[in-house]
Amino acid sequence: MSPAIGATLNRVDGRFKVRGESRYSAEVQVTNLTHAVVVNSKIASGRISAIDTSEAERAAGVLAVLTHRNMGRVATVPRLLPSLAGLAAPGQSFFPMQDESIHYGGQPIAVVVADTIERADHAATLIRVEYETTPATTLLDQDRDRAYVPERIFGGLLPGQNSRGDVAKALAAAEVCVQATYRFAPNHHNPIEPSASTAVWDDVDRLTIYDSTQGPNSVQLTVAELLGLPPISIRVVSHAVGGSFGSKAMVWHHPTLVALAARHVGRPVRLALTREQMFTSCGHREEQEQQITIGAAADGRISALRHHKYSLTSRFDDWAEPSLQSAAVAYTNPNYEGVYHLVRGNTITPTFMRAPGEASGMFALECAMDELAERVGVDPLELRMRNVSDTDPSSGNPWSSSGLRECYQRAAELFGWHDRDPQPRSRREGQWLVGTGMASALYPVTQPVNPQRAKARLYNDGTAVVEAGVSEFGTGVFTAMTQVAADALGLPPERVRFVGGSSDLPNITAAVGSAGTSAVGSAVHVTVCELRDQLIRRAVADDHSPLHGADPARVQVRDGKMVLSDRPDVGETYADLLHRTMTPDVEVLGTWNPPPQDAGYGIHTFGAQMAEVVVDAELGVVRVRRMVGVFAPGRVLNRKLAHSQLMGGMLWGLGQALLEATRMDPRLGRWANSSLADYLVPVNADAPDVVVDTIEQHDDVVNPIGIKGVGEIGVVGAAAAIANAVHHATGRRMYELPITLEKLL
Amino acid sequence: MRPISYSRVSDVGTAIGTVAADPTSAFLAGGTNQVDLLRIYVEQPRRLVDINDLPLKQVEELPGGGLRLGGLARMSDVAEHPTVRRRYPMVSESLVLGASPQLRHMASVAGNLMQRTRCTYFRDTEVACNKRSPGTGCSAMEGVNRGHAVLGTSECCIATHPSDLGVALMALDAVVQTESPAGQRSIPIDDFYLLPGKTPEREHPLSHGELVTGIDLPPLPVAAHSRYIKIRDRESYEFALAAVAVAMSVVDGRITEIRLALGGVATKPWRARAAEAALDGAPATTDSFTRAAEAELATAVPHGMNAFKIELAKRTIVRALTEMTQREGSA
Amino acid sequence: MKSQQAVQTTPTPDSAVVRGPDEVEVRLRVNGENRRMSIEPRVSLLDALRDRLDLHGTKKGCNQGACGACTVWVDRRRVLACLTLAISCENREITTIEGLADGDALHPMQEAFLDLDAFQCGYCTPGQIMSAVALLTEGHAGDDDEIKEWMSGNLCRCAAYPHIRAAIRRVRDEQGGDRAAH
Ligand SMILES: Cc1cc2nc3c(=O)[nH]c(=O)nc-3n(C[C@H](O)[C@H](O)[C@H](O)COP(=O)(O)OP(=O)(O)OC[C@H]3O[C@@H](n4cnc5c(N)ncnc54)[C@H](O)[C@@H]3O)c2cc1C
Ligand code: SF4
Ligand code: FES
Ligand code: FES
């Protein structure tokens, strides 16, 4: 009895989007609006020795030029904490423009406000800055010998190292050892909408920020701490967000800078980052190297895994994307050692990027697994099957649900895996070498740590509005929530409206780590169930109701009506009940208390990826011909939208595998390709048709609606499947991403 | 973008008179390079003279059998022009493989020839670049230079010329028609592009205010058997890592006529004369192709990240010649 | 052949009307309506539409011609509004995503994007749709390979590409093939 869930309802905000009517944050209509432009540091380390703003101040239309000398001071700089925690969530433990020091290239050093964007932009170029430069570290290899093992990473959420069993001994005893080192270029999210914030002060303690963010509440709490204002003074609105992929998960400097600028000029200010600024203003996936050693028996059964990661972090934070998490538990494996090594560099603190950690960590593991398969002479799929773990190897706890075996099987069927000739270079079509590869996909489900709330109100015409402070950045969460609410209330989806995207609404943790839909979904579910139960209780208590005296447990809702389960002809509509009792509406504020992370289960999402590539035998060009991904994300709320996200994730894997690299010029300490013409993301012609399937798993451990999220898992393993396919096509192993053609010449 | 003033002109005389008289002015054609570079302060004119109303958009037959592409003809229109497609397929292909459909609707063929390099240091006014600010040094030489040139470089500049069309035109010995207050000129395409040498800021011999009115494609039967191949990381919407324009005729297994030019690897659209010399009269075999490719790249100079382009260019030449031969064979 | 001097011409001197650099009145015809605004000549068509006319459906993804989010039609051809100066569009017909639907009734391409889930965040979507409709007019939607190539000027970071192709195929087939839809 859940007609809406699972169905392929079109996006509820889709009509506005295809008509160009949705307003993204740089598009809100505000009277008396002014425009800000940020000026960024051209050096990566040192200090500003002189800054001359006089010409900029005199330029036409300029209202203010702010530098460290006159920019408002922040009250405190909160510590980095992932927005999943639901507290203030700055992207780094540093706030710029408070003094003359420079810690990374692109650090904001001035903000110009003018009456038009053209004038602000031009005035920004009239500022003269002199720097005193000190040596900078911007590449891992520059300072590798200074690497350290951090106590904790990821904003303190994860330990810097982990182990079980005795790896050294197990590796020494292993019949087969595969050892490999993988290098990853830095990557940038590059959502098509650059981040933008518009700040409007209605009074000294009433600020509204229109911000492109994954979490309006996180922005509210972070800006409040920075400005030294209580959260009640700040309202954050985020109706439509043009993609994020992690770049808008943490709270970076722009909403606070624009708030300070707006306070300074006494008028509303809009700040839209440029594409170039998107490369230095909201984190990135860090440059990294991973060293992996797998020990196994001759039949391929794994006995040990050693996995070390070296990466560059900022001067402020011990950040590493958690690349070792899923690889540690992907297979039965009694002996494990995982260590993060960090090198401090002159960079903004790196951040989440779609499938943070797993996109790189599972690449390393799954490429090494492919080597192992070759070494022991076992089909890669069979090798994985032999090593599937029915419990979480790190704790011995059962999985809340898995479905991994079914994913392998279904993917193999859809792909036609079993006809594969394992011999590399065995297929050629003209100039093209053809190869196929596979990989496992795992992604941990991280529970929010705080209660998640939602509000639901049913009106006496039988329509309902459901609210929670989550924003819509393409995941389809507004649509999925409409379905969750419609199902629980027994209403057709068109009678339910979901409202989100504002910090005024009940608090919801930022939608990160695929946890968005599950957190808000659980809160909405709990809330609308409570609303439904209240309505049923009212009906059975009302003498005039046909349901009077019935056992509430035996009342069902469907088509806007409460009816007896065994006598569907007995009942009444919500509207009748409320009209009769002269009640305009009924409202409930509900709370979902997430279970603790270690509730006696391992909670992961699983999947299988397969890819077919062609490699130009002489020119090294790699093209992906087809991809198959099968995933077990618990329950699927909306097949159409879920499959879209999974497909997008898989094509992200394609970009990671073949195209995406931000290139640092260490002499300048700055990125050398910060544009969409130079940082290559896949275009339509790169994207093959993608076959996506889902294996639904019942899971009542993870949350009341049984979903694990589809935002990240599609990425995981996709790049490895491609790299493994490149090996199958060419006989060459790829140890560095992206796989550009010079590596295959 | 700095403040600019704007004029729109509708006849050639006014256009060149206006720009020639004002050293701070520039022509505005499709604007796809001009507006972009203005916005990042690489180009700094104070006045734009919009030439889009000039009657220079047609593709016309020339008396001697050639074809004239009006300077303001759009990339997309030239690419789709039936005569261009039939008689000069490499021109059409070089256009279709460039930029994106939207850009090709905007961009003029003259603007395409005149576009500036995509060297990211050239585009960053904060760093040294001899082409943008003569005498400041070249940041690319030891920098991120995967896309840079291996042919025609100098110690001052290794920037790749980005035009695809220019490569096809180079293979065809096209002639650029210009007009300035001093009169009209016909400039062979090879002379139209200057090597960087010690003056990388000078890319062509035009005087300020000299207008490219048209591009003449010579009557050249072999051009009907031509193609343009372009190698790049992504499948579309990217400049070339290596490109080859080739027109060839093969009689009884021997190459009787050959025109070959390279893109993506040189500081100007690169006529592969050494390769042509090696191929002329040679048997149409992989051996000859490989020897020709070796000959052409013999003088190539790598600079770190772009070293692979030497091998890539060779193999792309061999690929293009092989495909042409196969096509000729099956035709 | 060497460079040669030929016919001497007498160009007219600088007689062109100079407008700007300060604000000037610019008249545009957008979606069939005449609009006037006072803007500097340096203002792009994109910023004029978004900031001056509140036609914010046209998106800004890069401002450098590298993403296609700003695709509009000028004289019914798809172009990039970020590299077009607004002042250069006087006397031309501009069509934006806001001008595509017929009142409440979606254009078939909008309908197809919605039904086939050809977008996620929706930010590239207006540009994709303007491009897709133009693509059919141009006659470049013959098969999937052609659609792929001729839609590659519009980046979609959500990577809805396969669904975008499906939407285009559907409209193409409904409207009786390539070149038929406009
Ligand atoms: C993202 C992106 C990708 C691209 N990819 C490619 C590619 O793959 N291959 C490729 O070849 N090109 C590519 N281009 C470049 C594009 O083709 C050129 O920008 C375009 O051809 C320039 O033509 P235009 O008419 O727009 O010139 P404008 O931008 O208007 O002018 C360019 C320059 O030429 C001058 N000029 C223009 N017309 C004349 C004339 N008639 N006489 C004298 N001077 C004149 C102008 O004053 C200006 O200095 C790409 C561009 C972008 C933005
Ligand atoms: S290669 Fe040429 S354009 Fe690039 S930085 Fe060097 S001098 Fe400038
Ligand atoms: S905004 Fe115009 S192409 Fe990106
Ligand atoms: S739908 Fe998000 S960028 Fe295309």
Does residue A477 sit in the same domain as residue A377? no
Per-residue pLDDT of B146-162, as tens digits, reads 999 999 999 999 999 99
- What is the reported pLDDT for B70? 98
A122 touches chain B (CB under 8 A): yes
Give the Å distances, CA to CA, from A41 to A106, A108, A401, B247, C78.
5, 6, 49, 50, 37
CA-based angle A63:A69:A70, to the nearest 5? 40
Selected residues 259-298 of chain A with any CB under 8 Å from a CB in chain C: 272, 274-275
pLDDT band, very low/low/confident/very high, at C177 (cuts 50, 70, 90): low
Does residue A89 sit in the same domain as residue A228? yes
Does residue A104 sit in the same domain as residue A224? yes
Is A53 domain-assigned? yes
Burial (CB count within 10 angstroms: exposed 0-12, middle 13-18, buried 19+), residue B314: buried
Give the start-to-end residue ranges of the domains of chain C: 24-99, 108-174
Number of domains in chain A: 3
- What is the reported pLDDT for A617? 98
Query: What SS3 state is found at B203?
Result: coil
Average pLDDT, consecutive stretches of 10 residues, N- to C-terminus, chain A (745 residues)? 69 96 96 98 98 98 98 94 82 97 98 98 98 98 97 91 97 98 98 98 95 94 97 95 95 98 98 98 98 98 98 97 96 97 98 96 98 98 97 96 97 96 96 98 90 96 96 92 95 96 87 72 96 97 96 95 96 97 97 87 96 98 98 94 96 98 98 98 98 95 92 96 98 98 97
Does residue A413 sit in the same domain as residue A314? yes
Q: Which residue has the tokens 């006496």?
A: A460
How many angstroms does the Cα of residue C66 sit away from the middle of ligand 3? Answer: 6
Query: Is C108-174 a CATH 1.10.150.120 domain?
Result: yes
Considering the candidates A225, A371, A612, A712, report the single residue annotated as catalytic: A712
- What is the reported pLDDT for A85? 77
Segment C115-143 shows an average pLDDT of 97
Which atom of ligand 1 is least distant from the CA of B27? 47
Q: Which of B11, B4, B50 is nearest to B27 (CA)?
A: B50
Give the start-to-end residue ranges of the domains of chain B: 5-50, 221-330
Which atom of ligand 2 is least distant from the CA of B145? 1
How many angstroms does the Cα of residue C157 sit away from the middle of ligand 3? Answer: 13
User: Which chains would you list as touching B if contact means 3+ CB atom pairs under 8 Å?
Assistant: A, C
Is A2 domain-assigned? no
Does residue A684 sit in the same domain as residue A732? yes
Q: How far apart are CA C95 and CA C99, in angstroms?
A: 6
Instruction: Note the ligand closest to the C-alpha atom of B158.
Output: 2
Structural domain of A352: 146-187+284-446+599-744
**In CATH, what number is assigned to the domain containing residue A85?**
3.90.1170.50
Per-residue pLDDT of B49-69, as tens digits, reads 999 999 999 999 999 999 999
Task: Assess whether pLDDT exceeds 50 at residue B227.
Answer: yes
Pick the CATH number of C24-99 from 3.30.460.80, 3.30.70.580, 2.40.50.140, 3.10.20.30: 3.10.20.30
ipTM for the complex shown: 0.97
Q: Is residue A276 annotated as part of the catalytic site, yes or no?
A: no
Q: Which of A589, A476, A462, A598 is nearest to A530 (CA)?
A: A589
Residues in chain A with CB shorter than 8 Å from the CB of B239 are 677
Contact across the interface for C44 and B35, Cβ inside 8 Å: yes
**In CATH, what number is assigned to the domain containing residue A312?**
3.30.365.10
User: Which chains would you list as touching C if contact means 3+ CB atom pairs under 8 Å?
Assistant: A, B
Q: Which of B301, B12, B331 is nearest to B141 (CA)?
A: B301
Segment C1-6 shows an average pLDDT of 44
Is A7 domain-assigned? no
Per-residue pLDDT of B273-326, as tens digits, reads 999 999 999 999 999 999 999 999 999 999 999 999 999 999 999 999 999 999
Mutate to test the interface with A, among C151, C158, C165 (most CBs of A within 10 A): C158
- What is the reported pLDDT for A448? 86
| The pair of three-digit structure tokens given for residue A445, joined into one six-digit string | 């489900």
CATH number belonging to domain B5-50: 3.30.43.10
Residue in chain B closest to A671 (alpha carbons) equals B144
Residues in chain A with CB shorter than 8 Å from the CB of B146 are 663
Per-residue pLDDT of B159-196, as tens digits, reads 999 999 999 999 999 999 999 999 999 999 999 999 99
For strand A561-564 and strand A571-573, is the pairing parallel, antiparallel, or unpaired?
antiparallel
- What is the reported pLDDT for A1? 38
Is A418 domain-assigned? yes
Does residue A340 sit in the same domain as residue A439? yes
- What is the reported pLDDT for A449? 83
Does residue A183 sit in the same domain as residue A303? yes
Q: Final residue of a domain: which of A538, A568, A592?
A: A592
C161: Cβ below 6 Å to ligand 4? no
pLDDT band, very low/low/confident/very high, at C3 (cuts 50, 70, 90): very low
Q: How far apart are CA A91 and CA A254, in angstroms?
A: 11
How many angstroms does the Cα of residue C67 sit away from the middle of ligand 3? Answer: 5
Cis previous bond, C21, omega within 30? yes
How many angstroms does the Cα of residue A66 sit away from the middle of ligand 3? Answer: 29
Q: What are phi and psi of A654, to 5 degrees?
A: -65, -45
Q: Which of C45, C51, C63 to mutate to test the pocket of ligand 3 (most atoms within 8 A of CB)?
A: C63
Selected residues 236-275 of chain B with any CB under 8 Å from a CB in chain A: 236-239, 241
- What is the reported pLDDT for C176? 79
Is A586 domain-assigned? yes
Computed on alpha carbons and rounded to an integer, the radius of gyration of chain C in Å comes to 19
Does residue A49 sit in the same domain as residue A120? yes
Does residue A471 sit in the same domain as residue A485? yes
Pick the CATH number of B221-330 from 3.30.2130.30, 3.40.50.620, 3.30.365.10, 3.30.390.50: 3.30.390.50
